[in-house]
């Protein structure tokens, strides 16, 4: 028995209506043997059996297909109905009724939904029964159509289940991937950067200190890459970027700290802050800091080297607005539509660092908060990335959970 036939047997076995169909056929006709058979050019295999005769054929049992009338049905695509084989002008001398010792017989073809031949629903008995010119044949043909539909549904369900199993397996791989990034890479990188910082403080010779600073810079850059890939994995492949939201009364100070760090890395650039009263915003301050860091870094890399990068933050009309503006060449319209996709770079250069995940992660942080990112770019106005977030989200969410009065 080949794998395809075994799969067909399993499909029929999962259709709960099949035993009832065979039971109805036997009760309606009086015959004591009924079966669903998978019929191919080379094989006849029982997929479901109701045997009240002791015929000796079980599910998976095979017959020589050339000895069966089902082989004739496979070729002719016509049902065969016999009331009494010994007196039937076509089958009185046919070897099949003689070999299998039956008088009454009925078999109808079963077609799959694509029109291909699957097999038959058949029934037989050593006793003669009046089957022709009755409602028996239309009934069994109706069962054949029902069986075809059920097989299609069952195979679709199996494909869906297989896809789910594959997705579960991929989810396990993703979790392992995230775990490796979160532990096996970040921990040694932390040790490297911490050790490099200590060396920078303690070494006195300039060339040794320069080497320690280089190690520190490389370690920090690698840590940032790992952080970006980790956030990408969680946002794109995992369960989304996790937040620790809280009322943040010192958000302005958090944003100033981010700008100060990047200013130290780029001392030759002009970075200007325009921060309004933003205390008390409900958010994850570390993630907002990461979002701003990504936007500022993007502006410093791609903006006019002689131009000022301006960071603005305020609350207006019930919304928190955080923006980063830089001067320089406008971003082409076709590029704007792709900016927040992973691994996208505005203008790739040989010296550009990073994976092109910064803007994607910024958008995911915005979405995780319930906000959204926007970008506008023109020759006259430069480029502005903005993050917009409603300030009354917690109260709104709480009210939505309360029962109506």
pLDDT in tens, 133-152: 899 999 999 999 999 999 99
pLDDT at residue number 402: 40
Comparing CA positions, the residue from 358, 385, 389 lying closest to residue 374 is: 385
pLDDT at residue number 404: 43
Residue 21 burial (C-beta neighbours within 10 Å; 0-12, 13-18, 19+): buried
Among 3-17, 220-234, 253-267, the minimum mean pLDDT is found in 220-234
Within 13 Å and on the Cβ side, how many CA atoms surround 137?
A: 18
pLDDT in tens, 98-141: 999 999 999 999 999 899 999 999 999 999 999 998 999 999 99
- Whether residue 403 is predicted with pLDDT greater than 50 in this model: the reply is no
pLDDT at residue number 159: 83
The crossing angle, in degrees rounded to 10, of helices 206-232 and 358-369 is 50
pLDDT in tens, 392-401: 865 444 344 3
What does the alpha-carbon distance between residue 230 and residue 235 come to, in Å, rounded to a whole number?
8
Neighbour order of strands in the sheet with 104-111: 62-63, 44-51, 33-39, 117-125, 104-111, 80-82
Chain center to CA of 249: 39
pLDDT in tens, 340-390: 887 766 655 544 555 678 898 899 899 989 999 999 999 888 999 999 999
- How long, in residues, is the chain? 405
pLDDT in tens, 273-329: 999 999 889 999 989 999 999 999 999 988 899 999 999 999 998 999 999 999 988
Dihedral (CA of 347, 350, 355, 358) sign? negative
What does the alpha-carbon distance between residue 216 and residue 199 come to, in Å, rounded to a whole number?
9
Which positions ≥6 away from 386 have C-beta within 8 Å?
Answer: 321, 322, 323, 324, 373, 374, 375, 376
- C-beta atoms surrounding 134 within 10 Å: 15
- Whether residue 168 is predicted with pLDDT greater than 90 in this model: the reply is no
Phi, psi of 350 (to 5 degrees): -65, -30
What does the alpha-carbon distance between residue 286 and residue 250 come to, in Å, rounded to a whole number?
12
Vertex 317 angle, CA 315 and 319, to 5°: 50
């Amino acid at each position: 028995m080949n794998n395809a036939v075994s799969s067909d047997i399993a499909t029929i076995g999962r259709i709960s209506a099949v035993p009832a169909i065979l039971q109805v056929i036997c009760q309606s006709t009086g015959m004591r043997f009924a079966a669903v058979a998978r019929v191919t050019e080379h094989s006849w295999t029982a997929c479901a059996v109701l045997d009240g005769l002791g015929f000796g054929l079980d599910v998976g049992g095979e017959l020589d297909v050339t000895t069966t009338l089902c082989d004739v049905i496979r070729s002719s695509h016509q049902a065969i109905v016999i009331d009494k084989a010994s007196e039937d002008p076509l089958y009185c001398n046919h070897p099949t009724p003689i070999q299998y010792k039956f008088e009454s017989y009925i078999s109808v073809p079963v077609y799959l939904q694509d029109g291909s031949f699957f097999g038959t629903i058949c029934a037989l008995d050593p006793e003669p029964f009046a089957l022709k010119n009755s409602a028996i044949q239309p009934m069994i043909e109706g069962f054949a159509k029902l069986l075809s539909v059920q097989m299609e549904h069952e195979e679709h369900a199996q494909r869906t289940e297989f896809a789910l199993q594959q997705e579960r397996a991929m989810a396990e791989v993703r979790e392992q991937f995230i775990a490796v990034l979160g532990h096996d890479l970040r921990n040694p990188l932390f040790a490297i950067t911490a050790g490099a910082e200590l060396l920078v403080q303690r070494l006195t010779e300039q060339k040794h200190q320069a080497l320690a600073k280089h190690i520190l810079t490389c370690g920090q850059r690698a840590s940032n890459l790992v952080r970006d890939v980790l956030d990408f994995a969680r946002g794109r492949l995992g369960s989304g970027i996790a937040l620790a939201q809280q009322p943040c009364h010192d958000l302005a100070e958090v944003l100033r700290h981010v700008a100060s760090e990047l200013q130290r890395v780029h001392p030759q650039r002009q970075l200007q802050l325009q921060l309004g009263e933003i205390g008390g915003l409900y958010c994850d301050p570390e993630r907002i800091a990461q979002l701003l860091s990504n936007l500022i870094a993007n502006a410093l890399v791609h903006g006019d080297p002689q131009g000022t990068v301006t960071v603005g933050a305020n609350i207006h009309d019930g919304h928190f607005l955080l923006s980063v503006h830089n001067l320089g060449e406008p971003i082409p319209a076709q590029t704007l539509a792709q900016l927040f996709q992973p691994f996208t770079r505005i203008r790739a250069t040989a010296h550009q660092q990073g994976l092109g995940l910064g803007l994607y992660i910024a958008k995911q942080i915005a979405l995780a908060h319930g906000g959204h990112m926007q970008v506008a770019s023109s020759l006259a106005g430069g480029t502005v990335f903005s993050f917009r977030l409603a300030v009354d989200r917690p109260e709104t969410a709480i009210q939505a959970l309360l029962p109506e009065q």
